Structure 1
Amino acid sequence: MDALVPGGRDVRATLDEPDGGEATACVVACPPHPQHRGHRGDPRLTAVSDELAERGVACLRFDYGDWDEGYGEREDARNAVRWAADRYERVALFGYSFGGAMALLAAASVDREVRAVSTLAPASRLADDLDAAAAMAALDCPAQVVYGTRDDTADPGPVVAAARERGGDVVELSADHFFVGKHGRIATLVADFLAPEL
Protein backbone atom coordinates (compact mmCIF):
# COMPACT_ATOMS: atom_id res chain seq x y z
CA MET A 1 0.00 0.00 0.00
CA ASP A 2 1.33 3.44 -0.91
CA ALA A 3 0.96 6.24 1.61
CA LEU A 4 1.74 9.93 2.06
CA VAL A 5 3.53 10.60 5.36
CA PRO A 6 2.01 13.70 7.01
CA GLY A 7 4.28 16.64 7.68
CA GLY A 8 5.52 19.75 5.95
CA ARG A 9 7.39 17.86 3.22
CA ASP A 10 6.38 15.60 0.33
CA VAL A 11 7.25 12.18 1.74
CA ARG A 12 5.92 9.14 -0.11
CA ALA A 13 5.99 5.69 1.41
CA THR A 14 5.14 2.06 0.80
CA LEU A 15 3.63 0.01 3.62
CA ASP A 16 4.38 -3.71 3.39
CA GLU A 17 2.12 -5.81 5.58
CA PRO A 18 2.28 -9.54 6.29
CA ASP A 19 -0.17 -11.83 4.54
CA GLY A 20 -3.10 -13.27 6.41
CA GLY A 21 -3.39 -11.05 9.43
CA GLU A 22 -3.08 -7.60 10.88
CA ALA A 23 0.34 -6.69 12.22
CA THR A 24 0.64 -5.01 15.62
CA ALA A 25 4.23 -3.84 15.01
CA CYS A 26 5.94 -1.85 12.26
CA VAL A 27 9.53 -1.15 11.30
CA VAL A 28 10.24 2.20 9.63
CA ALA A 29 12.94 1.68 6.98
CA CYS A 30 15.17 4.65 6.07
CA PRO A 31 16.77 4.53 2.60
CA PRO A 32 20.31 5.50 1.63
CA HIS A 33 21.38 8.96 0.45
CA PRO A 34 18.79 10.50 -1.89
CA GLN A 35 21.47 12.37 -3.83
CA HIS A 36 23.09 9.02 -4.64
CA ARG A 37 19.87 7.44 -5.94
CA GLY A 38 18.80 6.15 -2.54
CA HIS A 39 15.09 5.32 -2.43
CA ARG A 40 12.50 3.15 -0.70
CA GLY A 41 12.94 0.41 -3.33
CA ASP A 42 16.58 -0.19 -2.33
CA PRO A 43 17.14 -3.97 -2.45
CA ARG A 44 18.55 -4.07 1.08
CA LEU A 45 15.41 -2.37 2.40
CA THR A 46 13.07 -4.62 0.44
CA ALA A 47 14.93 -7.75 1.58
CA VAL A 48 14.54 -6.70 5.22
CA SER A 49 10.89 -5.81 4.65
CA ASP A 50 10.15 -9.20 3.07
CA GLU A 51 11.79 -11.02 5.98
CA LEU A 52 9.88 -8.96 8.53
CA ALA A 53 6.60 -9.75 6.76
CA GLU A 54 7.41 -13.46 7.10
CA ARG A 55 7.56 -12.85 10.85
CA GLY A 56 4.29 -10.93 11.05
CA VAL A 57 5.82 -7.44 11.20
CA ALA A 58 4.82 -4.57 8.89
CA CYS A 59 7.44 -2.32 7.28
CA LEU A 60 7.08 1.29 6.16
CA ARG A 61 9.66 2.15 3.49
CA PHE A 62 9.72 5.85 2.60
CA ASP A 63 11.40 8.33 0.27
CA TYR A 64 12.77 11.56 1.70
CA GLY A 65 11.37 14.91 0.65
CA ASP A 66 13.49 17.52 -1.13
CA TRP A 67 17.15 17.47 -0.11
CA ASP A 68 17.75 19.47 3.08
CA GLU A 69 21.33 18.63 4.20
CA GLY A 70 20.07 15.89 6.54
CA TYR A 71 17.82 18.10 8.67
CA GLY A 72 14.62 17.70 6.68
CA GLU A 73 15.46 14.05 6.13
CA ARG A 74 15.70 13.48 9.89
CA GLU A 75 12.28 15.09 10.26
CA ASP A 76 10.96 12.84 7.46
CA ALA A 77 12.12 9.82 9.47
CA ARG A 78 10.56 11.19 12.66
CA ASN A 79 7.28 11.83 10.84
CA ALA A 80 7.34 8.28 9.48
CA VAL A 81 7.78 6.99 13.06
CA ARG A 82 4.85 9.15 14.20
CA TRP A 83 2.71 7.82 11.33
CA ALA A 84 3.57 4.24 12.26
CA ALA A 85 3.09 4.82 16.00
CA ASP A 86 -0.44 6.12 15.36
CA ARG A 87 -1.32 2.82 13.64
CA TYR A 88 0.73 0.14 15.38
CA GLU A 89 1.32 -0.80 19.00
CA ARG A 90 5.10 -1.08 18.64
CA VAL A 91 7.56 0.65 16.29
CA ALA A 92 11.24 0.10 15.46
CA LEU A 93 13.65 1.64 12.95
CA PHE A 94 16.01 0.27 10.33
CA GLY A 95 18.30 2.22 8.04
CA TYR A 96 21.03 1.62 5.50
CA SER A 97 24.03 3.93 4.94
CA PHE A 98 22.76 7.54 5.15
CA GLY A 99 19.51 5.93 6.28
CA GLY A 100 21.34 4.27 9.16
CA ALA A 101 22.33 7.71 10.42
CA MET A 102 18.75 8.92 9.91
CA ALA A 103 17.37 5.95 11.87
CA LEU A 104 19.66 6.70 14.82
CA LEU A 105 19.08 10.45 14.73
CA ALA A 106 15.30 10.00 14.53
CA ALA A 107 15.15 7.35 17.27
CA ALA A 108 17.17 9.53 19.65
CA SER A 109 14.94 12.58 19.18
CA VAL A 110 11.40 11.57 18.18
CA ASP A 111 8.48 12.10 20.55
CA ARG A 112 7.29 8.49 20.28
CA GLU A 113 8.55 5.25 21.81
CA VAL A 114 10.95 3.35 19.57
CA ARG A 115 11.47 -0.28 20.65
CA ALA A 116 14.74 -0.92 18.79
CA VAL A 117 17.01 0.37 16.03
CA SER A 118 19.01 -1.62 13.49
CA THR A 119 21.52 0.02 11.17
CA LEU A 120 23.39 -1.32 8.17
CA ALA A 121 26.69 0.39 7.25
CA PRO A 122 25.61 3.63 8.92
CA ALA A 123 27.18 6.97 8.13
CA SER A 124 28.62 8.33 11.39
CA ARG A 125 28.27 12.08 11.02
CA LEU A 126 26.47 14.35 8.56
CA ALA A 127 27.14 17.62 10.38
CA ASP A 128 28.35 18.65 13.83
CA ASP A 129 24.79 18.52 15.12
CA LEU A 130 23.83 15.45 13.05
CA ASP A 131 26.15 12.97 14.78
CA ALA A 132 24.89 9.40 14.48
CA ALA A 133 27.49 8.03 16.89
CA ALA A 134 26.33 10.46 19.58
CA ALA A 135 22.72 9.48 18.82
CA MET A 136 23.66 5.81 19.27
CA ALA A 137 25.12 6.61 22.68
CA ALA A 138 21.96 8.53 23.65
CA LEU A 139 19.43 5.82 22.72
CA ASP A 140 17.29 4.27 25.42
CA CYS A 141 16.39 1.18 23.37
CA PRO A 142 18.31 -1.84 22.04
CA ALA A 143 20.45 -1.11 18.97
CA GLN A 144 22.25 -3.11 16.29
CA VAL A 145 24.98 -2.25 13.80
CA VAL A 146 25.77 -4.51 10.85
CA TYR A 147 28.78 -3.41 8.82
CA GLY A 148 31.21 -4.60 6.19
CA THR A 149 34.91 -4.93 6.93
CA ARG A 150 35.77 -3.58 3.47
CA ASP A 151 33.46 -0.55 3.58
CA ASP A 152 35.30 2.43 2.10
CA THR A 153 32.14 4.43 1.30
CA ALA A 154 30.66 5.17 4.72
CA ASP A 155 32.62 5.39 7.94
CA PRO A 156 30.65 3.21 10.36
CA GLY A 157 33.56 3.00 12.83
CA PRO A 158 32.37 5.66 15.33
CA VAL A 159 28.83 4.18 15.36
CA VAL A 160 30.26 0.68 15.82
CA ALA A 161 32.39 1.93 18.73
CA ALA A 162 29.39 3.67 20.32
CA ALA A 163 27.30 0.50 19.93
CA ARG A 164 29.99 -1.63 21.54
CA GLU A 165 30.36 0.89 24.37
CA ARG A 166 26.67 0.56 25.24
CA GLY A 167 26.62 -3.23 24.81
CA GLY A 168 24.73 -3.17 21.51
CA ASP A 169 24.55 -5.94 18.94
CA VAL A 170 27.46 -5.53 16.50
CA VAL A 171 27.76 -7.82 13.46
CA GLU A 172 30.79 -7.72 11.17
CA LEU A 173 30.49 -9.14 7.65
CA SER A 174 33.17 -9.70 5.04
CA ALA A 175 31.71 -7.23 2.54
CA ASP A 176 32.04 -3.75 1.09
CA HIS A 177 29.41 -1.01 1.49
CA PHE A 178 26.95 -2.61 -0.92
CA PHE A 179 26.81 -6.18 0.47
CA VAL A 180 26.48 -7.77 -2.96
CA GLY A 181 25.12 -11.29 -2.65
CA LYS A 182 24.44 -10.86 1.06
CA HIS A 183 20.98 -9.25 1.10
CA GLY A 184 19.31 -12.43 2.37
CA ARG A 185 21.86 -12.76 5.18
CA ILE A 186 21.36 -9.11 6.13
CA ALA A 187 17.58 -9.51 6.15
CA THR A 188 17.85 -12.47 8.52
CA LEU A 189 20.28 -10.68 10.85
CA VAL A 190 18.11 -7.57 11.04
CA ALA A 191 14.83 -9.45 11.49
CA ASP A 192 16.42 -11.76 14.09
CA PHE A 193 17.33 -8.66 16.07
CA LEU A 194 14.20 -6.52 15.59
CA ALA A 195 11.35 -9.06 15.65
CA PRO A 196 11.90 -10.21 19.28
CA GLU A 197 11.88 -6.57 20.40
CA LEU A 198 8.50 -6.06 18.75
Structure 2
Amino acid sequence: MALKEVVVPGVRDVRASLDEPEDGSETIVIACPPHPQFNGNRNDNRLVALSDYLGERGAACLRFDYGDWDEGYGEREDARNALRWARERYDSVGIFGFSFGGAIATLAGVDEDAAAIALLAPASRLAEDLDAVAALDEVDVPLKVLYGTRDDVAEWKPLVERARELGFETEEFSADHFFVGQEQKVAGRLGEFLVESL
Protein backbone atom coordinates (compact mmCIF):
# COMPACT_ATOMS: atom_id res chain seq x y z
CA MET A 1 0.00 0.00 0.00
CA ALA A 2 1.17 3.48 -0.84
CA LEU A 3 0.23 6.35 1.46
CA LYS A 4 -0.10 9.82 -0.03
CA GLU A 5 -1.11 13.07 1.60
CA VAL A 6 -3.91 14.87 -0.24
CA VAL A 7 -5.42 18.33 0.11
CA VAL A 8 -9.09 18.04 -0.85
CA PRO A 9 -10.00 20.96 -3.15
CA GLY A 10 -12.55 23.40 -1.76
CA VAL A 11 -12.96 26.55 0.30
CA ARG A 12 -12.25 24.72 3.58
CA ASP A 13 -8.87 23.33 4.65
CA VAL A 14 -9.37 19.58 4.35
CA ARG A 15 -6.38 17.24 4.60
CA ALA A 16 -6.55 13.56 3.76
CA SER A 17 -4.57 10.35 3.59
CA LEU A 18 -4.90 8.32 0.40
CA ASP A 19 -4.23 4.62 0.91
CA GLU A 20 -3.80 3.02 -2.49
CA PRO A 21 -2.58 -0.40 -3.64
CA GLU A 22 0.89 -0.31 -5.22
CA ASP A 23 -0.61 -1.25 -8.62
CA GLY A 24 -3.23 1.49 -8.38
CA SER A 25 -6.99 0.99 -8.32
CA GLU A 26 -10.12 1.81 -10.26
CA THR A 27 -12.26 1.90 -7.11
CA ILE A 28 -12.10 4.03 -3.98
CA VAL A 29 -14.02 4.51 -0.76
CA ILE A 30 -14.22 7.90 0.96
CA ALA A 31 -14.05 7.38 4.75
CA CYS A 32 -15.83 9.95 6.95
CA PRO A 33 -14.56 10.14 10.53
CA PRO A 34 -16.61 10.52 13.71
CA HIS A 35 -17.40 13.82 15.42
CA PRO A 36 -14.44 16.21 15.14
CA GLN A 37 -15.25 17.87 18.46
CA PHE A 38 -14.69 14.51 20.16
CA ASN A 39 -11.32 13.83 18.51
CA GLY A 40 -12.81 12.24 15.41
CA ASN A 41 -10.20 12.19 12.67
CA ARG A 42 -8.84 10.22 9.72
CA ASN A 43 -6.70 8.02 12.00
CA ASP A 44 -9.71 6.57 13.80
CA ASN A 45 -9.15 2.82 14.33
CA ARG A 46 -12.33 1.88 12.48
CA LEU A 47 -11.40 3.96 9.42
CA VAL A 48 -7.86 2.57 9.33
CA ALA A 49 -9.10 -1.02 9.68
CA LEU A 50 -11.51 -0.55 6.78
CA SER A 51 -8.79 1.05 4.66
CA ASP A 52 -6.46 -1.87 5.33
CA TYR A 53 -9.16 -4.37 4.38
CA LEU A 54 -9.91 -2.53 1.13
CA GLY A 55 -6.25 -2.18 0.21
CA GLU A 56 -5.69 -5.92 0.56
CA ARG A 57 -8.48 -6.39 -1.99
CA GLY A 58 -7.29 -3.85 -4.54
CA ALA A 59 -9.39 -0.82 -3.58
CA ALA A 60 -8.15 2.60 -2.50
CA CYS A 61 -9.41 4.57 0.49
CA LEU A 62 -9.34 8.31 1.19
CA ARG A 63 -9.50 9.06 4.92
CA PHE A 64 -9.93 12.78 5.58
CA ASP A 65 -10.10 15.28 8.42
CA TYR A 66 -12.94 17.76 8.44
CA GLY A 67 -12.18 21.45 8.18
CA ASP A 68 -13.06 23.84 11.02
CA TRP A 69 -16.21 22.87 12.94
CA ASP A 70 -19.37 24.07 11.16
CA GLU A 71 -22.33 22.30 12.84
CA GLY A 72 -22.34 19.53 10.22
CA TYR A 73 -22.85 21.81 7.21
CA GLY A 74 -19.21 22.40 6.38
CA GLU A 75 -18.44 18.78 7.23
CA ARG A 76 -21.03 17.61 4.70
CA GLU A 77 -19.39 19.87 2.13
CA ASP A 78 -15.99 18.38 2.99
CA ALA A 79 -17.33 14.92 2.19
CA ARG A 80 -18.98 16.17 -1.01
CA ASN A 81 -15.68 17.69 -2.12
CA ALA A 82 -13.85 14.45 -1.34
CA LEU A 83 -16.37 12.54 -3.48
CA ARG A 84 -15.94 15.03 -6.33
CA TRP A 85 -12.16 14.73 -6.09
CA ALA A 86 -12.41 10.93 -6.20
CA ARG A 87 -14.84 10.84 -9.14
CA GLU A 88 -12.31 12.68 -11.29
CA ARG A 89 -9.73 9.94 -10.63
CA TYR A 90 -11.56 6.63 -10.14
CA ASP A 91 -14.19 4.65 -12.04
CA SER A 92 -16.23 3.68 -9.00
CA VAL A 93 -16.57 5.68 -5.76
CA GLY A 94 -18.21 4.54 -2.54
CA ILE A 95 -18.52 6.21 0.85
CA PHE A 96 -18.25 5.01 4.44
CA GLY A 97 -18.94 6.80 7.70
CA PHE A 98 -18.73 6.03 11.39
CA SER A 99 -21.00 7.71 14.00
CA PHE A 100 -21.29 11.44 13.11
CA GLY A 101 -19.53 10.44 9.89
CA GLY A 102 -22.34 7.98 9.14
CA ALA A 103 -24.84 10.83 8.85
CA ILE A 104 -22.32 12.84 6.81
CA ALA A 105 -21.70 9.85 4.49
CA THR A 106 -25.44 9.36 3.94
CA LEU A 107 -26.10 13.01 3.14
CA ALA A 108 -23.02 13.49 0.93
CA GLY A 109 -23.45 10.10 -0.72
CA VAL A 110 -26.96 11.05 -1.85
CA ASP A 111 -25.90 14.53 -3.00
CA GLU A 112 -22.91 13.29 -5.01
CA ASP A 113 -24.22 9.94 -6.30
CA ALA A 114 -21.87 7.59 -4.47
CA ALA A 115 -21.97 4.07 -5.96
CA ALA A 116 -22.39 2.43 -2.53
CA ILE A 117 -22.86 3.61 1.06
CA ALA A 118 -21.64 1.77 4.19
CA LEU A 119 -22.50 3.04 7.67
CA LEU A 120 -21.17 2.07 11.09
CA ALA A 121 -23.15 3.13 14.19
CA PRO A 122 -24.50 6.13 12.26
CA ALA A 123 -26.11 9.21 13.76
CA SER A 124 -29.63 9.63 12.42
CA ARG A 125 -29.82 13.41 12.40
CA LEU A 126 -27.36 16.29 12.87
CA ALA A 127 -29.84 19.14 12.48
CA GLU A 128 -33.40 19.55 11.24
CA ASP A 129 -32.15 19.97 7.68
CA LEU A 130 -29.26 17.49 8.06
CA ASP A 131 -31.51 14.46 8.40
CA ALA A 132 -29.86 11.21 7.35
CA VAL A 133 -33.10 9.25 7.93
CA ALA A 134 -34.95 11.39 5.39
CA ALA A 135 -32.00 11.15 2.98
CA LEU A 136 -32.39 7.35 2.90
CA ASP A 137 -35.52 7.82 0.78
CA GLU A 138 -33.27 9.19 -1.99
CA VAL A 139 -30.73 6.34 -1.90
CA ASP A 140 -30.88 4.17 -5.02
CA VAL A 141 -27.54 2.37 -4.62
CA PRO A 142 -26.47 -0.50 -2.34
CA LEU A 143 -26.43 0.57 1.31
CA LYS A 144 -25.52 -1.34 4.47
CA VAL A 145 -25.81 -0.30 8.10
CA LEU A 146 -23.90 -2.08 10.86
CA TYR A 147 -24.69 -1.14 14.46
CA GLY A 148 -23.99 -2.21 18.02
CA THR A 149 -26.91 -3.40 20.13
CA ARG A 150 -25.40 -1.79 23.25
CA ASP A 151 -24.70 1.55 21.57
CA ASP A 152 -25.97 4.35 23.80
CA VAL A 153 -23.89 7.12 22.20
CA ALA A 154 -25.34 7.60 18.71
CA GLU A 155 -29.04 7.92 17.98
CA TRP A 156 -28.91 5.08 15.43
CA LYS A 157 -32.33 3.46 15.84
CA PRO A 158 -34.40 5.77 13.55
CA LEU A 159 -31.91 5.32 10.70
CA VAL A 160 -31.70 1.54 11.14
CA GLU A 161 -35.49 1.22 11.26
CA ARG A 162 -35.94 3.29 8.10
CA ALA A 163 -33.18 1.39 6.32
CA ARG A 164 -34.99 -1.88 7.11
CA GLU A 165 -38.31 -0.46 5.89
CA LEU A 166 -36.64 0.45 2.59
CA GLY A 167 -35.08 -3.00 2.20
CA PHE A 168 -31.45 -2.03 2.79
CA GLU A 169 -29.07 -4.44 4.46
CA THR A 170 -28.65 -4.07 8.23
CA GLU A 171 -26.47 -6.08 10.59
CA GLU A 172 -26.20 -5.96 14.36
CA PHE A 173 -23.20 -6.72 16.53
CA SER A 174 -23.18 -7.36 20.25
CA ALA A 175 -21.10 -4.23 20.87
CA ASP A 176 -21.16 -0.71 22.22
CA HIS A 177 -20.64 2.36 20.07
CA PHE A 178 -16.90 1.91 19.66
CA PHE A 179 -16.66 -1.80 18.73
CA VAL A 180 -13.55 -2.14 20.90
CA GLY A 181 -11.60 -5.24 19.89
CA GLN A 182 -13.95 -5.83 16.95
CA GLU A 183 -12.54 -3.28 14.52
CA GLN A 184 -11.14 -5.92 12.15
CA LYS A 185 -14.35 -7.93 12.13
CA VAL A 186 -16.47 -4.85 11.51
CA ALA A 187 -14.10 -3.70 8.75
CA GLY A 188 -14.39 -7.12 7.15
CA ARG A 189 -18.19 -7.07 7.08
CA LEU A 190 -18.48 -3.56 5.68
CA GLY A 191 -15.41 -3.89 3.48
CA GLU A 192 -16.77 -7.05 1.89
CA PHE A 193 -20.04 -5.24 1.18
CA LEU A 194 -18.21 -2.30 -0.41
CA VAL A 195 -15.90 -4.46 -2.53
CA GLU A 196 -18.87 -6.45 -3.86
CA SER A 197 -20.96 -3.33 -4.47
CA LEU A 198 -18.25 -1.33 -6.24
What SS is found at the alignment partner of 2:111? coil
Q: Distance in 1 between matches of 2:53 and 2:82?
A: 20
Residue number in structure 1 paired with 2:86: 84
Residue number in structure 2 paired with 1:58: 60
Q: Distance in 1 between matches of 2:16 and 2:197?
A: 23
How much has 1:67 moved relative to structure 2?
Answer: 0.4
Equivalences for 1:1-198 in 2 at 5 Å?
1-19=4-22, 21-110=23-112, 113-198=113-198
Between 161-170 and 173-182, the greater mean CA deviation after superposition? 161-170
Q: Deviations over 1:103-130 (max 9, x none)?
A: 00101112xx311000000000011100
Q: Distance in 2 between matches of 1:59 and 1:18?
A: 9
How much has 1:32 moved relative to structure 2?
Answer: 0.2
Letter aligned with residue 94 of structure 2: A
How much has 1:137 moved relative to structure 2?
Answer: 2.2
What SS is found at the alignment partner of 1:108? helix
Aligned residues: 195
Q: Return 5+ residue gaps in structure 1 as ranges.
A: none
RMSD: 0.7
Q: Which runs of 4+ in 1 moved over 2 A?
A: none
- What is the TM-score normalised by the length of structure 1? 0.97
Letter aligned with residue 97 of structure 2: G
